[in-house]
Structure 1
Amino acid sequence: MNKLKPLMLGMMALLLPLLIQAQNEPLLLEVDLDDKVSDVSPNMWGLFFEDINFAADGGLYAEMIKNYSFEFENPMMGWRRVEDNGAKGYVFNRNHPSGVNHKYLRLQRLNNTGNFGVSNEGFRGMAVKEGLKYTVTFIAKLAKGDNLALNTKLLDGGEEIGEGSVSGFTSEWAEYEIVMTADKTLDGVGFHVLLEGEGELDIDMISMFPEDTWMGRKRGLRKDLVQLLADMEPGFLRFPGGCIVEGFDLENRYEWKKTIGEMEDREVIKNRWNIEFAHRTTPDYYQSFGIGFFEYFQLSEDLGAEPLPILSCGLACQFNTGEQVAIGALDEYVNDALDLIEFANGPVDSKWGAKRAEMGHPEPFDLKFIGVGNENWGPQYIERAKIFEKAIKAAYPEITIVSTSGPFPDGHEFDYLWGELREMDAELVDEHYYRPPSWFRENARRYDDYDRNGPKVFAGEYAAHSTTVSESWKRNNWEAALSEAAFMTGLERNADVVRLASYAPLFAHVNGWQWNPDLIWFDNLRSYGTTNYHVQKLFSTNRGTDVLPITADGKSLAGEDNLYASAVLDEDSGEMIFKIVNTSTAAKKVSIKLDGKYRGNGEGVLIEMAHEDLEAFNSLENPVAVEPQEKSFIISKKTIELELKGQSVNVGKVKLSK
C-alpha cells in the first residue's frame, strides 16, 4: 500500500488541473437564428393598475385635496377648522338638492377679525415645488352678506410661501379659480382656505392641481409616475384592478358608468381597500373617480398600450361576502359590458360613442380585449361567464374575452375552472401567482407542457413575495426580482401559450399602503422604480417579435446549473436578443454560438443587473441601489464569450443585419 501511495498522489496531481479546467469550461449555448419557434405577442409585457395603496387618489391622479367634495362618510374628513385672533365662524353641511354630489360646505363668518376658514391635510400630507404654479378651483355662491373674498394660502408653519384671492361672488353657483406659485420646495405644506368679510359663503368641489401634470392636462395625472410607466413601453394597461372590480359586496363594486362625465357627476364611494389590512388602517380611503374609464382609455393611448378593462360578472369578492346577483337579474351587468365596448369603439352618433365624443375623444379607442370577472371561482362563475360570452360574441365577435382561473395558480378550483374553460373554448385565461421566490424559480418550465391548442394564458398578476425580512414587510428586494426574471424567461420561451403578462400591484404610497411588494413606490414629491420594476422594464423594452431556441445540449435552460435563458428575434430592429438569469452566487462562464445567417464577427450590447446581496433594494433615499448597467461584448466567429456575474439578470443584443 505504501508503494501505491506515491503513485496515487502523482495521478491526482495530474488530474487536478484537468478537473479545474473542466469546471472553468464555459457552458456552451446555441441560438438558432433561423428557427422561429413562435411569435411573441406585440402586447406581451404590460401593466396592471388597481387603486390600492393610494395608487389613484393621492397617487397617479394629481389632485392634492382630500375629500374635495365633502362626500366622504364623514363629510369633514381631511378638513379642519381654522379660527384665530378672536374670529368666530361656523361650518355647515347641508344636503345638495340634486345629483350625486349631495354635500357642500358653508362658511359663516360673524365678524371681520382674525382668520376663519378651513385647512386640508392632503393625502398623507401635501407637497409643493419651488417656482411651480398650483391652480385652485371651486364652485361657490353667496348665501349672506356682501363684499366677501376667499383667500388661499400655502404655509410652511407660520410662513406664507404662496397665496391667492378671489371675490365677486353672486347668489348663483359659479366656478372660480386661484393660481398660486410656491416659493419653496416642501413636503408637509399647509393649505388654508380663508374667508374675508362678514357673511356666509357656500363652497364645494375645492380642488388643487400642480401645473406640471402629464401632457399638461387640466385635472391631469402626476407626470413623474406616468413617465415611469411610459419608460416601460407597455403593451397593455389592465384596469381598474382586481378585487376593486368585485367590491366587498355588489353595492361596492366598480361601475364604470359612474366614473365618466363631469367630476360633479362622478359618485364618490368608499374604496374596497378602506379596511384594516397588513397592520395599516385606512379609514380615509375613498374613490373620487378623477381617474375614470375615460382617463384609463386615454392613458392607454398615451402609453401606446392596448386598453384591457375588467368588469364585474355579478359576483362580489368571494373572500369577503361572495354576494351573487341572481342569474335572472344579470342583464344590467351584461349590458354594462356591451355599453362599455360601444363607449370605447362606437361611432359618435351612438349613445355611448357620443358620451366619449362629449369628453373630447370622437375617435374610437379601438378596444380589443375585455375581462369578465376577477379571481372568481366555482360553478357560479362559469354559469355567468357563459352568459357574458354569448352576449358579447353575438354583438362584438372581434373582441377577445379574458376569463379568470381564480386567485391561485393550482388546486381544486384552478383545475375545475381550467377544465370548464377548455370546454368553452375560452380565449385568454387569467392566472395569478403570489408566491415565494423559490416558487418562481421552480416554475420556469410551468408552460412547457401546456396544451398548444387550448386557451391562451394571461399572466395577469404575479409577484415574488420575499419573506427574508418579515412576513408583514415583503420587500421589493433583489431575491424577488431575480426569481421573477428566471420565471419570465419561461413565459417568453412559451410565448405561443402566454400572450400577456403583468406584475401586480403597480403603485404604492410609502405612507399609505395596504399591500406589498409593489412595482413603483412614491411619496408626495418623489418616486422610484423597484428592483422588480427594472426587471420588468428589461423584458418589456426588449420584447422581440419571434421566439428563438436557446439550448444547452439541445435542451432549454430553466434552472439547470442555476441558469435560465430565453431568446427572441426582433424583426423590427434586426436584432437577436437573449436573456440569461444566473441565480447562483458564483459567476458563470457561457459561450453562445449563433447558428444561422450571421456575418460571423461583430459587437453586441449587454445590459447587466446584479447584486451580491439578495436583500438589496431600492428606496426613495437610494433609488438606484440596484439598477441595470450597460457594456459591450465581442462576437468572434459567430460566438459570444461571457462571464455572467453571480445573482444577475443579463440581456444581450446582437445586430444581425449590416
Structure 2
Amino acid sequence: MNHRLLTYAFAITAATSSFAQHTHVMDVNTKKAGATVQNTMYGLFFEDINYAADGGLYGELVKNRSFEFPQSFMGWQTFGNVELKADGPFERCPHYVVLSDPQHVERRTGLVNEGYFGIGVEKGEEYRFTVWAKAPKGSGRITVQLINPATMGEHQDFASVRLDVKSAEWQKYEVRLKANQTNNKAQLRIFLDGRNTVCLEHVSLFPVNTFKGRDNGMRRDLAQALADVHPGVFRFPGGCIVEGTDLATRYQWKNTIGPVENRPINGNRWQHTFTHRFFPDYYQSYGLGFFEYFQLSEDIGAEPLPVLNVGMSCQFQNRNNAKWHVPVNELKPYIDDCLDLIEFANGDTTTTWGRKRAEMGHPAPFNLKIIGVGNEQWDTLYFERLAPFVKAIKAKHPDIMIVGTSGPDSEGKMFEIGWKAMKELKADLVDEHFYRNEEWFLKSGLRYDNYDRKGPKVFAGEYACHGKGKKWNHYEASIYEAAFMTDMERNADVVWMTAYAPLFAHVEGWQWRPDLIWYDNTRIFKSVSYYVQQMYAMNRGTNVLPMTMDGKFIAGREGQDGLFASSVVDKNDGTVIVKVINTSKTEQPVTINLNGLTGATTAATITLSHNGPDDENTLDQPEKITPKNGTVSLTAGKKASVIQDKLAPLSFRLYKVKK
C-alpha cells in the first residue's frame, strides 16, 4: 500500500513539474524599441474577382442597368411590347428601352431584372429605385415591384409603388420601396401602367441604408467589415483586371469617374478565364470607380494605393507576344494617365483633374502618397516599360512613392531578376505575391531577415496559404498565415505594407479561393484568415521589440516545436504586444520574460483556437471561430514580468501588457 502511494506521489510530482521541464522560454527586451511599424503595415487588396464589385461591395442591385452589355437584355426578361434603342441621353451609355402599349387590355408590357444571383432585400429596409425616363406624349406611368417569383402565396410582389413620368424630355425620377420580408432571391419587376409609351434608361435599385449613407454607395455589411479590420492601406482596383485580357479591356480610371449614368461598361478579365466556373455576365459597370475607391479608402481610414496599367495586357494570357503590349515609344498616354490620376487625387480645384474631383463632391485632396504601376509582371517587357513611368512621376511628383513588382514568383531566377531591376529603376516598394501551400508558409518564417536593408521596401501585396487538396478557408491554413506574419512584423524595417488576397467572394459567383470575406445577397461571414489579419492590424504597435528563444528568432526552427512569435510596443501608451503562434499539433507550454517591464500582474489576451484543423466559418455558422478575449496572470519580478501559459495545438494567442 505504501509503495503504491509513493508511486502515485512521484506521478503527481512529475505531472506538476512537466511545465517547467518542457516549457519554451522566450525573452522580450521591452527597453529596446526597434524599427518603426508603418501605419500601412496591414492592409487590404481589392480585386474585382468573385463578383467583388458589382454583385458584391458595390450597392447596386440591378444587373445591366443601362442595357449596355453586348447582349443587351442579359439579366433582363422582357414581355409585351419592348423595344431597344441606342440614341439615349448619355453618350457612352446610349441604350434604353421603350415600353409601349401591348395592344390588348389583358396583355402586359414590362421588364424583370434578376439581379446578381437574385436581388437580396431585408425586411423593414427601404430601397431607392431611380430611373431616367421620358414619356413621348408628355405623361406616362410605370409600376415598380419587388417580387418573389418562387412564392406559393397569392401575390408575387411584396413591395410595389407607382411612378408617374411627367415630361417628354429625359428626367431622373426616384421612388422608394419598403420590403416586408427578407428575400435572398427577389427580382425587380416593372410594368407599363396604362397605354402611354414610357422610355427607361439607367434603371437602378440601391439600399437606402448604404455604408455612410451614400447614394451611389457600398453594401453596408461588406464595407463595415473592411473598416473593422482597421486597415493601413487599401490597394485597388485589382491585379489582373488592371491589365485586361487585351488592352481594350484594361481598366481605365478615366472611364470610371463623372456621372454614373455615363460610365461605360468594361469586360472583366475573370469573365472567361475559368471554364470550370464560367460567368458570361461578369462585366464591370464602373459604378464603383476611382472616386468611390478614394472615398472608401478615406471612410475606412486607409491610405489609398491605386494601381495603373504599365502599357501591357495580361502577361499570363499573352506572354511575351509584343502585339499585345504597347511599344515603349508609344507609352505617353499611359504615363499621362498616371500623372493625371495624381492630379485628380491631390490637385487643387484650379487644376483640370482636381476640379473634376471637386465637381464629384470632394473639393479637398485625397492626399495620395503611393501609386502602383503594373501588376505581377516580369522580365524585360515590364522593366523597359516601367522605366519611363518612374522617370516622369518622380520628375513631377518626387514625393509620390512608386510600387513596382517582382512578378508572380515568390523566389527563383525570375524573382531575383525582378528585384534587381526594381533596385536599378529606383522603385520605392516591390510588390511580392505568394499563393503557396502549408509547407512553404511553415518554412518561410525567416524570409525577410536577410533582405537588403538599403534597397526598396517590401509590399507583400497578395498572399494566402492554399491547403494541399483543399484550397478553402480552413482553420489550419489561417494559423500558418498568422505564423508567417511574425516574420513580416519582426522585419518591419523592410516590410512596409502587406495584404491578403483575394478579399471578397460571392458564394455563388466565386472563381478563386480561399478568400477573406464570403457573402450571399443578404448574409456575410468572415473567414478565420480575416480574424488573423484583424488581430495584427488592431495590434500593430509602433515599434518592433527584440524577441528570441535561446538567442534565436522564434520562427518554427528546429527545436522550437512549431512556435512562431514576434513582439511590438505601442509608444503611445506603453503597451507591449506579444504574438505567439503554435503551429504544432500538440500543446506547447511557454514562459515569456518581459525583460525591463516591472510591476505588471495581468495581461489581456486574444486567442484563436479550434475544434478541428479543417474548421471554417460559414454563412450558417458565421462565428464558429472568432477571437476570444481573456486574461492571464503575470509574475512580477524586479527586472521582468513573466507570463507562463500553455498554447493549445494550432492556436494563435496575443498578449497585451501595459507598462
* TM-score w.r.t. length of structure 1: 0.94
Aligned to 1:581: 581
Q: Does the aligned pair in 2 maintain the 1:260–1:293 contact within 8 Å?
A: yes
Q: Does the aligned pair in 1 maintain the 2:57–2:218 contact within 8 Å?
A: yes
Q: Which runs of structure 2 are paired with 1:73-84 in the superposition (5 Å)?
A: 73-82=70-79
Aligned to 1:649: 652
Larger mean CA deviation between 613-622 and 183-192 belongs to 183-192
- 1:92 offset after TM fit, Å? 2.8
Larger mean CA deviation between 382-391 and 112-121 belongs to 112-121
Larger mean CA deviation between 640-649 and 151-160 belongs to 151-160
Q: Which runs of structure 2 are paired with 1:519-534 in the superposition (5 Å)?
A: 519-534=516-531
Q: Does the aligned pair in 2 maintain the 1:276–1:282 contact within 8 Å?
A: no
Structure 2: 5+ residue runs without aligned partners?
1-6
Q: Does the aligned pair in 2 maintain the 1:601–1:635 contact within 8 Å?
A: yes
Task: Indicate how the Cα distance of structure 1 residues 642 and 20 shifts in structure 2: closer, same or farther if over 3 A, else same.
Answer: closer
Task: Indicate how the Cα distance of structure 1 residues 265 and 94 shifts in structure 2: closer, same or farther if over 3 A, else same.
Answer: closer
Q: Which of residues 91, 102, 105 in structure 1 aligns to 2:97?
A: 105
Q: Deviations over 1:274-322 (max 9, x none)?
A: 1151721110001111110000000011111100000000011111124
Q: Which of residues 132, 136, 153 in structure 1 aligns to 2:129?
A: 136
Aligned to 2:4: none
Q: Deviations over 1:109-154 (max 9, x none)?
A: 23343432010000011121111111110011223x5652100011
Q: Which runs of structure 2 are paired with 1:9-158 in the superposition (5 Å)?
A: 21=18, 24-82=21-79, 88-96=80-88, 99-109=91-101, 110-143=103-136, 145=137, 147-156=139-148, 157=151, 158=155
Q: Does the aligned pair in 2 maintain the 1:112–1:197 contact within 8 Å?
A: no
Q: Does the aligned pair in 1 maintain the 2:24–2:589 contact within 8 Å?
A: yes
Q: Deviations over 1:46-102 (max 9, x none)?
A: 0000111111101111100000000001000000024xxxxx423334344761112
Distance in 1, Cα, partners of 2:107 & 2:488: 65
Aligned to 1:613: 612
- 1:468 offset after TM fit, Å? 4.1
Distance in 2, Cα, partners of 1:337 & 1:264: 24
- 1:18 offset after TM fit, Å? 10
Distance in 2, Cα, partners of 1:78 & 1:417: 43
- 1:23 offset after TM fit, Å? 7.8
- 1:255 offset after TM fit, Å? 0.6
- 1:20 offset after TM fit, Å? 7.9
Aligned to 1:425: 426
Q: Deviations over 1:580-619 (max 9, x none)?
A: 00011111111111111x2333211111101141111110
Aligned to 1:450: 451
Larger mean CA deviation between 315-324 and 65-74 belongs to 315-324
Distance in 2, Cα, partners of 1:564 & 1:629: 20
Aligned to 2:363: 362
Letter in 2 for 1:620: L
Q: Does the aligned pair in 2 maintain the 1:601–1:634 contact within 8 Å?
A: no
Q: Deviations over 1:429-468 (max 9, x none)?
A: 0000001122111101100111111111000000011134
Larger mean CA deviation between 125-134 and 345-354 belongs to 125-134
Aligned to 2:467: 466
Distance in 2, Cα, partners of 1:260 & 1:430: 27
- 1:377 offset after TM fit, Å? 0.7
Aligned to 1:307: 304
SS at match of 2:462: strand
- 1:35 offset after TM fit, Å? 1.2
Aligned to 2:505: 508
Task: Indicate how the Cα distance of structure 1 residues 57 and 22 shifts in structure 2: closer, same or farther if over 3 A, else same.
Answer: closer
Task: Indicate how the Cα distance of structure 1 residues 459 and 482 shifts in structure 2: closer, same or farther if over 3 A, else same.
Answer: same
Q: Does the aligned pair in 2 maintain the 1:233–1:541 contact within 8 Å?
A: yes
Q: Does the aligned pair in 2 maintain the 1:247–1:253 contact within 8 Å?
A: yes
Aligned to 2:178: 181
Q: Does the aligned pair in 2 maintain the 1:126–1:189 contact within 8 Å?
A: yes
Q: Which of residues 282, 286, 305 in structure 2 aligns to 1:285?
A: 282
Distance in 2, Cα, partners of 1:74 & 1:619: 35
SS at match of 1:73: coil
Matched, 1:623 2:614: no
Q: Does the aligned pair in 2 maintain the 1:39–1:495 contact within 8 Å?
A: yes
SS at match of 2:255: helix
Q: Which runs of structure 2 are paired with 1:334-349 in the superposition (5 Å)?
A: 334-349=335-350
Identity %, equivalent residues? 45
SS at match of 1:561: coil
Letter in 1 for 2:86: R
Distance in 2, Cα, partners of 1:22 & 1:360: 62
SS at match of 1:386: helix
Matched, 1:206 2:206: no
Q: Does the aligned pair in 1 maintain the 2:446–2:555 contact within 8 Å?
A: yes
SS at match of 1:608: strand
Larger mean CA deviation between 317-326 and 62-71 belongs to 317-326
Q: Does the aligned pair in 1 maintain the 2:307–2:375 contact within 8 Å?
A: yes
SS at match of 1:320: helix
Letter in 2 for 1:654: V
- 1:264 offset after TM fit, Å? 2.0
Q: Deviations over 1:245-291 (max 9, x none)?
A: 01101111011011000012211111111115172111000111111
Q: Does the aligned pair in 2 maintain the 1:147–1:197 contact within 8 Å?
A: no
Aligned to 1:5: none
Distance in 2, Cα, partners of 1:371 & 1:268: 23
Aligned to 1:372: 373
SS at match of 1:231: helix
Q: Does the aligned pair in 1 maintain the 2:402–2:428 contact within 8 Å?
A: yes
Aligned to 2:397: 396
Letter in 2 for 1:605: A
Aligned to 1:226: 223
Task: Indicate how the Cα distance of structure 1 residues 451 and 91 shifts in structure 2: closer, same or farther if over 3 A, else same.
Answer: same
Distance in 2, Cα, partners of 1:114 & 1:236: 55
Q: Does the aligned pair in 2 maintain the 1:278–1:514 contact within 8 Å?
A: no
Distance in 1, Cα, partners of 2:537 & 2:63: 35
SS at match of 1:543: coil
Letter in 2 for 1:606: T
Q: Deviations over 1:613-655 (max 9, x none)?
A: 1111110011112111111011112111111111101111001
Larger mean CA deviation between 537-546 and 111-120 belongs to 111-120
Q: Does the aligned pair in 1 maintain the 2:547–2:566 contact within 8 Å?
A: yes
SS at match of 2:318: coil
Q: Does the aligned pair in 2 maintain the 1:400–1:427 contact within 8 Å?
A: yes
Letter in 1 for 2:632: F
Aligned to 1:6: none
Distance in 2, Cα, partners of 1:19 & 1:106: 83
Q: Does the aligned pair in 1 maintain the 2:138–2:168 contact within 8 Å?
A: no
Q: Which of residues 495, 498, 503 in structure 1 aligns to 2:495?
A: 498
Task: Indicate how the Cα distance of structure 1 residues 548 and 98 shifts in structure 2: closer, same or farther if over 3 A, else same.
Answer: closer
Q: Does the aligned pair in 1 maintain the 2:390–2:425 contact within 8 Å?
A: no
Q: Does the aligned pair in 1 maintain the 2:90–2:262 contact within 8 Å?
A: no
- 1:426 offset after TM fit, Å? 2.4
Letter in 1 for 2:112: S
Task: Indicate how the Cα distance of structure 1 residues 647 and 29 shifts in structure 2: closer, same or farther if over 3 A, else same.
Answer: same
Task: Indicate how the Cα distance of structure 1 residues 105 and 520 shifts in structure 2: closer, same or farther if over 3 A, else same.
Answer: same
Distance in 2, Cα, partners of 1:190 & 1:553: 64
Q: Which runs of structure 2 are paired with 1:261-300 in the superposition (5 Å)?
A: 261-277=258-274, 279-300=276-297
Distance in 2, Cα, partners of 1:386 & 1:90: 53
- 1:410 offset after TM fit, Å? 1.4
Aligned to 2:241: 244
Distance in 2, Cα, partners of 1:271 & 1:355: 26
Task: Indicate how the Cα distance of structure 1 residues 278 and 549 shifts in structure 2: closer, same or farther if over 3 A, else same.
Answer: farther
Q: Does the aligned pair in 1 maintain the 2:600–2:657 contact within 8 Å?
A: no
Distance in 2, Cα, partners of 1:18 & 1:628: 30
